[in-house]
Structure 1
Amino acid sequence: MTRSGGVIESRKQLASLLETATVRITLAVLFLVPLIFPIGQPNHPFVELKAFVLHVGMLLAASLWLWEGAIRLRLQRQPGKTNERVSPLGWLGWSPSRWAVVALSAMWLAQIVSTILSPLPEISFYGGNENFAGGNLYDAAALLIVFLVVAFKFRSVERLEQLAWVLIVSATIAAAYGVAQHFGWDPLGGRTGIRVPSSFGNTINFSAYVAMAIPATIVMPFIFKRTGRVFQLSAGLALAVQMAGMLFSESQGPYVGVLVALLALLAGIAL
């Protein structure tokens, strides 16, 4: 192998390593954010730690992704290699994922313009209350990075399975914690009561997250061809814990959401 060939190969390996790191950081963030909260500090802003993990993790993931992109762009511009020009419409084509990326990017651009024109741009950017995160531009940017990483990097069955496992396991842990709260056992947060918030600090957010995991838990044994009794028993137990957590949250909106999701799931199976 020539020296230039060795350099190209090492750059390809580095780009692949950076892609793997970006995916794993994103998975770690998606696992930690639902579960992390200020332990033993009931009066502390509940979402602050979640927002911190989200911002730091996705800033790191975006930096690694940009580094990877720069390496791949340089590899495409090697001497003797023709670069095909692709128009924006040609790139979009009939790909639903790419159109979804454009639509969400347009929405985020509108939020940037709204923040610039806001009478209180600092509040529009950072948010006005640490207990009500998600609506400001700073959080929206981090969530957009999550969306883009999932849209562009989770293209294989293996990675989609990893994403499903993160959703199922984190939702099951959160649901189990909610069940414990319902029965008066919460040594970490001290938030026992009739309507349990689990690790989310909010009953609706908690049950909405679990509602997303229930269809994934149902189809996991069928989609990924795992039919062993131990796996089926584990999936059934996880599903029971999730449904109990939703029941004890007493949030009506997510009940409707999970019902619609299950109807869509049955329709998909029928088709």
Structure 2
Amino acid sequence: MVIIFDGNKRKEEILNSLKPRIERIRRKGRNPKLSIINVGKNPASLSYIKMKTQALKKLNLEYELYDFEKIEEKDLIELIRELNEKDTNGILVQMPLPNYLNAKKILNEIEPLKDVDCLTEKNLGKLMYNDETIAPCTPKGIIDILENEKIELEGKEVVIVNNSILIGKPLSIMLTNRFATVTLCHVKTKDLKEHTSKADILITATGVPKLIKSEHIKKGVVLIDAGFAKVDEKPVGDVDFEGVKDLCSFITPTPGGVGPMTVAMLVKNLITCTELQLGLND
């Protein structure tokens, strides 16, 4: 029988586990604070920002939201530089940014010790050395799902349908660090089914509704759906959930699967960044 993952339940477990660390920080006279920068009105971004701020409120953590319809690149960089010097403990630039902005240039302006999304070159590079002290939120959440559910990774065939700097690339490194055999698929992959049908673990994050159907998977697969889109104003993932679930041994739904885990890992990264800044990372 298929196991359907409950991301909200696991998120609450993680947030509750952070409370002693938060109290230790408060005893030092600080309350972790996150600065969120959003540009534009991307539906997925707005949904995630709402989830993130709700989680921060629940733990009585501080946050501020800089929400822009449009902003010049130089002004956005100047804001990040100001935040680097202020008492905020984490800086998050909500991705994706509009195409007219140079995401790489902007993200690398963030002080690495405040980079809660782990998107600076310095922090991403640490993953290559198996240093996951701060790791990208969605990949970190996916790893937590797999490890907490005791899903074997060593020697397993893992296929990731996403090669972005946000998910696919860092996740492939983190899985390789755990001795999985990883294949990355993307828009130029010639025969997607040829790869996905061999996967012991299939992870997809394209934002294309019902991209993954029953013919794309083998029986008993572990299926992680990190996609997000809206169809008729309802959130959906990459997977034809009803069409594939009975073929899976384990599956994450959308909503209520990977999304809450991304939020939990953001809060966890904020706490870690604050501890590092205060010298409490023992």
Which category of TM-score, normalised to the shorter sequence, fits these structures? Answer: under 0.3
TM-score (norm 2): 0.26
Question: Greater Rg, structure 1 or structure 2?
Answer: 1
Write 1 or 2 for the structure with the bigger share of helix. 1
Write 1 or 2 for the structure with the bigger share of strand. 2
TM-score (norm 1): 0.26
The one of the two structures with greater contact order (alpha-carbon pairs below 8 A, sep at least 6) is 2
